[in-house]
Amino acid sequence: MAKLGTFCKNCCFYNKEQQNCMHGLIDIFRDRNAEIVEEEGCHVIDRVCQYRRNHEWNEDKNLDEKLQICKEEVYIQGSIIVIANDIDNLKKTIEKLDSLENIEKFNLIIIHKGIFFSDIVKIEMKSKYVLVSMKNNDINMQIYRVLKHAQNGYLFIIDSNQHIDHNIIDKVNNMVNKKLYRLLHVSPIGENLHQSVSMTSIYKWLKSDLEYTFAEKLKTISEEENTDPQVFTWKDINEQYTD
């Protein structure tokens, strides 16, 4: 069976003489138990490297510029579901989200109840957004129904009545693109799936948190296939993060 991987040869960030990655990723891949071998004097890694670029990529830029552009390109993207029933709390939540780095890479899906549509559209937002009126109190069903609006990438769920970690997006990006963990889900804290994070495509495929939690579904599959469920807590995420 064919296996996806990365050949470091001809990557503009790979120093063949020193057999070193300018992003410092080889040791990190090794820490994640990736299989790494040498072919033609270069590393071959059994993981897909999002940072790999050929020598023609942005060849008019210097190395520092290339490194920065690449980091910006691989930053996570996706959607944020915001659950709201209070206009003042929604405004505060949007204001905080708008202050986050790379928020433009996410679209917002606002599930609202007891708030006038006309009041919500007056709120200035950096991101594109979709408004969906909550039909009942079954929040899991409401979330499942709005998944058609979610972009590929990672799906964050926020309860606007609860505190939001100001580095919530950057912490997940750190885990995925800097620490190189395979991450399918971060378990929520509090009610209404607050600060739940999931890989959108898998979350859709397994029908979100309907019937039983997404984390339980992933753990059941991992037990059947003897694989890592790739489920983390915010404690795990915080331990890997330095601002």
Backbone φ/ψ region at 98: left (φ over 0), alpha (ψ -120 to 50), beta: alpha
- Is 191 found in the same domain as 150? yes
In which band, very low, low, confident or very high, does the pLDDT at 76 lie, cut at 50, 70 and 90?
very high
Backbone φ/ψ region at 24: left (φ over 0), alpha (ψ -120 to 50), beta: left
- Is 105 found in the same domain as 43? no
- Is 17 found in the same domain as 137? no
In which band, very low, low, confident or very high, does the pLDDT at 2 lie, cut at 50, 70 and 90?
very low
SS3 199: strand
**Domain total for the chain?**
2
Q: Which residues of 119-149 are buried (b: 16+ CB within 10 A; e: fewer)?
A: ebeeeebebebeebebeeeebbebbbebbee
Given a cut of 90, whether residue 101 has pLDDT beyond it is no
The percentage of residues in the chain with a pLDDT greater than 90, rounded to a whole number, is 93
Whether residue 25 is contained in a domain is answered as yes
Considering the entire predicted model, what is its pTM?
A: 0.94
d(CA 111, CA 149): 12
- Is 97 found in the same domain as 70? no
Given a cut of 80, whether residue 49 has pLDDT beyond it is yes
The whole-number average pLDDT for the span 210-234 is 94
Among the candidates 20, 43, 74, a domain finishes at 74
Whether 44 contacts 38, CB under 8 Å: yes
Whether residue 1 is contained in a domain is answered as no
Instruction: Lay out the sheet containing 185-186: strands in order across.
Output: 129-133, 106-112, 78-84, 154-159, 196-199, 185-186, 231-232
- Is 210 found in the same domain as 153? yes
Given a cut of 80, whether residue 3 has pLDDT beyond it is no
Among the candidates 74, 93, 126, a domain finishes at 74
Whether residue 220 is contained in a domain is answered as yes
d(CA 143, CA 203): 11
- Is 202 found in the same domain as 159? yes
- Is 69 found in the same domain as 89? no
Mean of per-residue pLDDT scores for the chain: 95
Residues in the chain: 243
Whether residue 12 is contained in a domain is answered as yes
Please give the residue range of the domain that contains residue 28: 6-74
Whether 156 contacts 76, CB under 8 Å: no
Domain with residue 167: its CATH number is: 3.90.550.10
- Is 90 found in the same domain as 70? no
Q: Which residue shows structure tokens 């594109």? A: 128
- Is 102 found in the same domain as 30? no
Among the candidates 39, 74, 109, a domain finishes at 74
- Is 125 found in the same domain as 70? no
Given a cut of 80, whether residue 179 has pLDDT beyond it is yes
- Is 199 found in the same domain as 101? yes
- Is 117 found in the same domain as 24? no
Beta strand segments in the chain, E: 6-7, 14-15, 20-21, 36-39, 42-45, 78-84, 106-112, 129-133, 154-159, 185-186, 196-199, 231-232
